Structure 1
Amino acid sequence: MPHNVDLIILLAFGFGLALVFGYLAARLRLPPLIGYLIAGIIISPNTPGIVADIQLANQLAELGVMFLMFGVGMHFSLNDLLQVRRIALPGAILQIAVATLLGIGVSMLWGWSFGSALVFGLSLSCASTVVLLKALGDRGLLNSVNGKIAVGWLLVEDLVMVLVLVLLPATAVLLGGESMTTHGGNDNIWLTLGLTLLKVAGFIAFMLIVGKRLVPLIMQFVARLGSRELFTLTVVAAAVSIAFGAYKVFGVSMALGAFFAGMVVKESDFSHRAEEETLPLREIFSILFFVSVGMLFDPRILWEQPEHVLAVVAIIMIGKTIAAMALVLFFRYPINTALTVGASLAQIGEFSFILATLGLSLKLLSLEGQNLILAGALISITLNSFIFSAIEPLQNWIRERSSLARLLERSGDPLAMLPDEVSQDYLRDQVVIVGHGEVGRRITKTLMAEDIKVVIAEENREIVENLREKGIAAVSGVATEPGVLIQAHIQHARLLVLSPMDIIDIHKIVDIAKTLNPQIQVLICAESKQEAEVIRKENIGDVYFAKEEMAKNMSNHILNQIEIAHHQAPSH
């Protein structure tokens, strides 16, 4: 008896080819999602050979979007964003504006309508969080100041794009498209927009008042049963049902619903477990999403309109990058930060695909526009790893040859020098602490409680500003540069304390410090046991490793308790 096997064909060939090309991409040190997109291109109606059902692929892509947005919600950290808000918030918004205007300008020169040009420009303005996290993780930059700024920048971009996904359907008719709900004219467009914003506000209020309490409560109740599959099912059900409920009850996009579902789950005490146990499912559906996006791509655009493709790639990789770097330098961050943020944004990804698909369904974007966006994504993601590799040589080249670059980085920067109110008497026998993360914060608090003089050297300018507001002596800059330690008056310091950081940077900082002050004592917080052992062998300072110190403290506490119990026990 014949039966329909379209779904099985799609999954079998989609996953099989995604595995092959994802593996090849990874071997070439490229993000695997390039392989997933290529797998989709191979089984698409636009290429010869196997053709999978594109309607089924679109439905699976909807699920993929839900789980992608759920993942974005689970990774969204307000604290991370607040740490870099002064650069990430204005920087991301201005960069989105520049990239969108470039996209609008170029596409209107091609004769496109304003509505199409707007969707096109917005699609080119938002970088891929998936690609960025992979690139930063591979280079060990995720927890660096530069990494935090880049991630914070993309968090702002994600929030802006979530807002765009909400507003675009409501304004589609006004922009010359077609509403997904009504097909009337644009007489009631402002009423539609007002109602949309009201519904969104209602949904957000519901999630913050009810969802924030109810979902963690249900997760806690299920977790007590000790069933792993029921717990995973609870999280998946929360993601899908909240996304669908947001669409059905409040009339907002399923993407927004899934994003808030992720944020609500993150509030639970079981957020780490939820993230870990749903990761395989989220990754499976995100792979299907990228495969389905590849199925929509027509590769003929590469040789039929090469000049249009080049213009798109130039906007993504040159226009956006230069705008971002200029903004970072304007906020007086060093060239290294500007290059890292610029490289991070020199690609587009999942939000671009989601926006392009939405634009197509609203009759705002043509197939040509979608193909150009997909071509731009494929090329920019492929080249992104090479751009990251070029950061260090480019930085060295600029610093060797450009006095202007050195001027831009340091000249006239009030945070690069200690304020006048820090007296010369204070800058004698002080403790210089490099890095004001969790370790640095605790050491600073303890020392200041004992009236011990402290000077902080920190890369994050916002942290330096906050410290100065509290009356704590702090200087902004990268401590591997002699000027930063000179400004911290390392030559008169009693002690240098280094927070956990890369071992190469530790060597550079200690070398500078001991050149300027041969008598200085150095204390180093190591990130791992292996690193602690290496530093001890090299004898460059006293080393402390968190787990080792915790074990010592606990052992001493246990021995003290046993000794107390022994003295209190009645003698026979």
Structure 2
Amino acid sequence: MHASLPLITTFALAFVLALVFGYVAERLKSPPLVGYLFAGIAVGPYTWGPVADLWLASQLSEIGVMLLMFGVGLHFSVRDLLRVKWVAVPGAILQMTIATALGFVFAFYGLNWTVAGALVFGLSLSCASTVVLLKALELRGKLNSYDGQIAVGWLVVEDIATVVILVMLPPIAEILGISGSEPMGAQAILLKIVETLLRVVAFIALMLLVGRKLIPLGLQMVIKTGSRELFTLAVLACAIGIAFVASSIFEVSFALGAFFAGVVMQESKFAKRAAADSLSFQDAFAVLFFVGVGMMLDWHVLIEEPLTVLSVLLIIMVGKSIVAIVLVDTLRYPLHSSLTIGASLAQIGEFSYILAAQGISLKMVGSEMMSLIVAASILSIALNPCMFAAVDPFGKFLQKHFLWARKAALRENPHEEQKPAESEPPGQIVVQCNDHTTHRLALEFVRAGFPVVGIAADQSEAERLRTDQLSAVVGKVTDRATLAEANVDVAKAVVLSGLHFVDGSDAIEKIRELNQDVLIIVRTGSEEDRKHFDEETTANMVLMDDQMIAEYMTASVRERCASRIIIAQ
């Protein structure tokens, strides 16, 4: 490696190999995350060829952790969680407890690890990857289904619980005497726990009471400058700066600080723009995070300890799935819900790496655990699509051989609150409603006598549409299931708005697959995108905001002038 340019070399190796391996993984119908991990293995110290700077990669990975947690907080919705609280909250807590116990027993008795090491190992196996789950549900069109909402709500609870665990690991390490001091007594343990909780409460209170007002105010001041670059910089400064302050002053984890930065910003009116502007940075540093994790894998563990890796994989893919299926079935949910949740949890990902890394940094466990965790994670993520593919066949097998499965398949969701979207008669207009303009456009179509279905990005926007007596579905226009739910196959017209060319062309292609003859109207904000849509897609009309305003003003002036000429005559 070029000794004088370690940062540039690390970036170059990470991004180029992540692109190559990520592309291969995508073509093999696996999440790109698997490819990023293999890219890390390729540039790690345990393989031949160029080696990236592991210390530098770990520092960049910390930024990846901050932005990942910021993204979790930015998309955290209490409303969505409450919708599935009856199964997600008790299910996630019990499942994490049992999975931790399974991992602890295996590590303590099977691997002869210490209590601290076995505890960190069990905790690392207990939480699934939100990134992997969202990708899996999106690929199968189940992201907005009730089962998908349960799975996402379940993992939100896991994410919150993991954030709390990350905060509590340092005092637990001191309690067990890991830092080199003697084990603490009962009074010292109590004081340490209270001290840690007070720091966390103080930080949360500061964020909710002060940050909730100051952050939107600061963003408002930046927006008034009219500079998109400054707004993006402000969002990143909030995410990374607050995480740094949380660690430096309150001695809580970067993860917790970044998470609450996202939570506070999510409640402001700038949440959507903040999410959109920071997404590319989140994706880029998330790639570096996974590459950094892959660099920590000593692939020799697959040869030297294949049975150990297989045992860990069985705990993740079989043990956790069975626990989840039993818990969801016990709560009287349908069989397909139980099996979907079981498949969703049959993998581990980003939080497992974060927990393992913190346990290693606190000297609670040796670095060899990271190789086990990463090896099992890569295998579980790669095999997770098979688990989802097996849901329907396995469900039919259970119904054929077991009476309880046949009864479970006939159950209704006991606490389902969200009703399916209203079905509109054939010939409706489908409008992607993502701002005030498209919302108003949908209302104008209704006033003109057209049936309208609005596609909303989130539940709050959908509720605003329904308040105005509009039918609404929640999802992305690039998701086939969302388009099908909006009855695009029988629509007269589809209006797309505010999409980048890549997403827009993907949406147009999927719309055409459902309805070859539908009129597709695209509203875009740049001349470059307008040319791309015109020349490279099958959109019928592509309009720019400036163009529409000019045409409207011209028509208004002509109408006004014509009326005056008539009066004068």
TM range (shorter): 0.7 to 0.9
- Does 1:390 pair with 2:390? yes
- Does 1:316 pair with 2:292? no
Question: Which structure: larger Rg?
Answer: 1
Per the alignment, do residues 113 and 404 of structure 1 end up closer, same or farther by CA in structure 2, a change over 3 Å counting? same
Task: Kindly indicate whether the alpha-carbon contact (under 8 Å) linking 1:22 and 1:36 is maintained by their aligned counterparts in 2.
Answer: yes
Task: Kindly indicate whether the alpha-carbon contact (under 8 Å) linking 1:128 and 1:351 is maintained by their aligned counterparts in 2.
Answer: yes
Residue number in structure 1 paired with 2:529: none
Q: In the aligned structure 1, how far is the partner of 2:285 from the partner of 2:86?
A: 35
Q: In the aligned structure 1, how far is the partner of 2:346 from the partner of 2:355?
A: 18
Q: In the aligned structure 1, how far is the partner of 2:326 from the partner of 2:218?
A: 48
Report the alpha carbon displacement of residue 409 of structure 1 after superposing the two structures with TM: 4.2
Per the alignment, do residues 500 and 9 of structure 1 end up closer, same or farther by CA in structure 2, a change over 3 Å counting? closer
Q: In the aligned structure 1, how far is the partner of 2:490 from the partner of 2:93?
A: 40
Per-residue CA deviations over 1:4-33 (Å, capped at 9, x if unaligned) read: 211111111111111100000000010101
Structure-to-structure mapping, 1:123-134, within 5 angstroms: 123-134=124-135
Residue number in structure 2 paired with 1:55: 55
What TM-score comes out, normalization by structure 1 length?
0.73
Structure-to-structure mapping, 1:416-427, within 5 angstroms: none
Q: In the aligned structure 1, how far is the partner of 2:485 from the partner of 2:92?
A: 34
Residue number in structure 2 paired with 1:27: 27
Q: Which runs of 5+ in 1 are unaligned?
A: 417-432, 441-497, 503-524, 535-561
- In terms of mean alpha carbon deviation, does 399-408 or 389-398 score higher? 399-408
Task: Kindly indicate whether the alpha-carbon contact (under 8 Å) linking 2:421 and 2:485 is maintained by their aligned counterparts in 1.
Answer: no
Q: In the aligned structure 1, how far is the partner of 2:189 from the partner of 2:402?
A: 53
- Does 1:141 pair with 2:142? yes
Q: Which runs of 5+ in 2 are unaligned?
A: 424-470, 476-483, 494-558
Residue number in structure 1 paired with 2:292: 292
Q: CA RMSD in A?
A: 3.0
Per the alignment, do residues 499 and 227 of structure 1 end up closer, same or farther by CA in structure 2, a change over 3 Å counting? closer
Per the alignment, do residues 6 and 415 of structure 1 end up closer, same or farther by CA in structure 2, a change over 3 Å counting? closer
Residue number in structure 2 paired with 1:186: 184
Residue number in structure 1 paired with 2:85: 85
SS at match of 2:360: helix
- In terms of mean alpha carbon deviation, does 294-303 or 395-404 score higher? 395-404
Q: Which amino acid aligns with 1:111?
A: N
Report the alpha carbon displacement of residue 248 of structure 1 after superposing the two structures with TM: 1.2
Report the alpha carbon displacement of residue 176 of structure 1 after superposing the two structures with TM: 4.5
Residue number in structure 1 paired with 2:101: 101
- Does 1:41 pair with 2:41? yes
Q: In the aligned structure 2, how far is the partner of 1:366 from the partner of 1:415?
A: 45
Task: Kindly indicate whether the alpha-carbon contact (under 8 Å) linking 2:128 and 2:348 is maintained by their aligned counterparts in 1.
Answer: yes
Per-residue CA deviations over 1:508-534 (Å, capped at 9, x if unaligned) read: xxxxxxxxxxxxxxxxx9615444359
- Does 1:341 pair with 2:341? yes
Per-residue CA deviations over 1:59-95 (Å, capped at 9, x if unaligned) read: 1111111011101111111111100001000000010
Task: Kindly indicate whether the alpha-carbon contact (under 8 Å) linking 1:216 and 1:267 is maintained by their aligned counterparts in 2.
Answer: no
Per the alignment, do residues 437 and 208 of structure 1 end up closer, same or farther by CA in structure 2, a change over 3 Å counting? farther
Q: Which amino acid aligns with 2:184?
A: N
Task: Kindly indicate whether the alpha-carbon contact (under 8 Å) linking 1:501 and 1:526 is maintained by their aligned counterparts in 2.
Answer: no
Task: Kindly indicate whether the alpha-carbon contact (under 8 Å) linking 2:83 and 2:417 is maintained by their aligned counterparts in 1.
Answer: no
Residue number in structure 2 paired with 1:260: 260
Per-residue CA deviations over 1:206-237 (Å, capped at 9, x if unaligned) read: 00100011101111121122110000001000
Structure-to-structure mapping, 1:110-509, within 5 angstroms: 110-178=111-179, 186-187=184-185, 188-410=188-410, 436=419
Per-residue CA deviations over 1:333-380 (Å, capped at 9, x if unaligned) read: 111111110000000000000000000001111122221111110100
Task: Kindly indicate whether the alpha-carbon contact (under 8 Å) linking 2:333 and 2:413 is maintained by their aligned counterparts in 1.
Answer: no
Q: In the aligned structure 2, how far is the partner of 1:28 from the partner of 1:52?
A: 26
Q: In the aligned structure 2, how far is the partner of 1:19 from the partner of 1:212?
A: 38
Per the alignment, do residues 336 and 34 of structure 1 end up closer, same or farther by CA in structure 2, a change over 3 Å counting? same
Task: Kindly indicate whether the alpha-carbon contact (under 8 Å) linking 2:81 and 2:156 is maintained by their aligned counterparts in 1.
Answer: yes
Per-residue CA deviations over 1:166-201 (Å, capped at 9, x if unaligned) read: 00011112235228xxx5653534322211110000
Task: Kindly indicate whether the alpha-carbon contact (under 8 Å) linking 2:72 and 2:262 is maintained by their aligned counterparts in 1.
Answer: yes
Per the alignment, do residues 526 and 120 of structure 1 end up closer, same or farther by CA in structure 2, a change over 3 Å counting? closer
Task: Kindly indicate whether the alpha-carbon contact (under 8 Å) linking 2:121 and 2:369 is maintained by their aligned counterparts in 1.
Answer: yes
Report the alpha carbon displacement of residue 437 of structure 1 after superposing the two structures with TM: 5.1
Q: In the aligned structure 1, how far is the partner of 2:421 from the partner of 2:201?
A: 36
Report the alpha carbon displacement of residue 46 of structure 1 after superposing the two structures with TM: 1.4
- In terms of mean alpha carbon deviation, does 47-56 or 31-40 score higher? 47-56
SS at match of 1:127: coil
Per the alignment, do residues 386 and 206 of structure 1 end up closer, same or farther by CA in structure 2, a change over 3 Å counting? same
Q: Which amino acid aligns with 1:39?
A: A
SS at match of 1:52: coil
Residue number in structure 2 paired with 1:518: none
- Does 1:12 pair with 2:9? no
Report the alpha carbon displacement of residue 408 of structure 1 after superposing the two structures with TM: 3.5
Q: In the aligned structure 2, how far is the partner of 1:216 from the partner of 1:146?
A: 34
Q: In the aligned structure 2, how far is the partner of 1:322 from the partner of 1:532?
A: 42
Per the alignment, do residues 31 and 185 of structure 1 end up closer, same or farther by CA in structure 2, a change over 3 Å counting? same
Q: In the aligned structure 2, how far is the partner of 1:249 from the partner of 1:367?
A: 28
Structure-to-structure mapping, 1:60-75, within 5 angstroms: 60-75=60-75
Per the alignment, do residues 177 and 143 of structure 1 end up closer, same or farther by CA in structure 2, a change over 3 Å counting? same
Per-residue CA deviations over 1:262-306 (Å, capped at 9, x if unaligned) read: 111111111111101110111111100001111111001111111
Q: How many residues align?
A: 444
Q: Which amino acid aligns with 1:130?
A: V
- Does 1:527 pair with 2:527? no
Q: In the aligned structure 2, how far is the partner of 1:306 from the partner of 1:200?
A: 41
Q: Which amino acid aligns with 1:144?
A: S
